[in-house]
Chains A and B, each alone.
Chain A
């Protein structure tokens, strides 16, 4: 398993994340409805809105899992936040970065993963909106566009919440 490197702007990234005061807060319908929509749109069993803390990934909203956080080292999302592109892993068992990942070899038995980074205007990437399936699959251009839009809606909600708190 390849552990993702720590981003160069990690201190700035964590500061922006903590400033939102969102970690370990209760579920919110405005995020829950986006992950439910994504699960139905893409017909995937698991959808997560994740935030990357220093040593864990925490789920602000989720479909298909009761778990609310996992170790950062094993997370796919820690790879996603290294760039602005959507990361698609069509079959994790065929990908040397993830083939022996405990989230692939054990529960929840990830085979397909697609994660869109949640990038703030400042450029820091706080986490992901991601789709997970237990069977291999791919996304076409329309799918990628829709996932990007749903990610943008999550970021807009995050930003609006932050602006409202500042007002």
Chain B
């Protein structure tokens, strides 16, 4: 029996995290490890290899300086955070809104899946299932 995929889910809402993790386990989609914050996630990423991550990003700053906090993604893609496979790991991003600035930033970071609000467990589980196989070229990157 193949080893289950190890997936990291970074999401502050506990009920959504729990639902995704428990359902993924019950349907043999993978072992979903839960992190409520970027700090917790970074520690977990350093402690073991993952085959994918679903990361919720929040807006920070105010006025013209308002932007999505992509610091965890940057640690993975560009940083020297000691995370194995961080530069190539498939990542799906959860965001409230797809702004042109966000989409440009995600393209630079080779992120091909964006999950928009309202966040549903089913959409997150579909994203996790997609980590296991090649993405369909016809599939929309948005949910």
Restricting to B8-50, which residues have a CB under 8 Å from any CB of A? 15-16, 18-19, 22-23, 26-27
**Across the interface, do B15 and A149 meet the contact criterion of CB distance under 8 Å?**
no
Instruction: Give the A-B contact count at a CB cut-off of 8 A.
Output: 41
* A99-B121 Cα distance, complex, nearest whole Å: 32
> Which residues on B sit within 8 Å (CB–CB) of A141?
27
**Across the interface, do B118 and A149 meet the contact criterion of CB distance under 8 Å?**
no
Count residues of chain A with CB under 8 A from any CB of chain B: 15
A152 interface residue per 8 A CB criterion = yes
Q: Which of A33, A34, A41, A152 contacts B22 (CB 8 A)?
A: A152
Count residues of chain B with CB under 8 A from any CB of chain A: 14
Chief secondary structure at chain B's binding surface: helix
Asked whether A41 and B27 contact (CB < 8 A) given A34-B15, A152-B22, A153-B19, the answer is no
> Which residues on B sit within 8 Å (CB–CB) of A149?
18-19, 22-23, 26, 121
A54 interface residue per 8 A CB criterion = no
Restricting to A18-42, which residues have a CB under 8 Å from any CB of B? 33-34, 37, 40-41
Restricting to A55-95, which residues have a CB under 8 Å from any CB of B? none
**Across the interface, do A146 and B122 meet the contact criterion of CB distance under 8 Å?**
yes
Chain B nearest CB, measured from A65 CB (Å): 22
A12 interface residue per 8 A CB criterion = no
* A93-B83 Cα distance, complex, nearest whole Å: 56
18 A-B pairs with C-beta separation under 8 A: A33-B15, A34-B15, A37-B15, A37-B19, A40-B118, A40-B120, A41-B19, A141-B27, A142-B23, A142-B122, A142-B126, A146-B23, A146-B122, A148-B26, A149-B18, A149-B19, A149-B26, A153-B15
Further pairs besides A41-B122, A146-B125: 5, Cβ < 8 Å: A37-B19, A41-B121, A145-B27, A149-B23, A149-B26
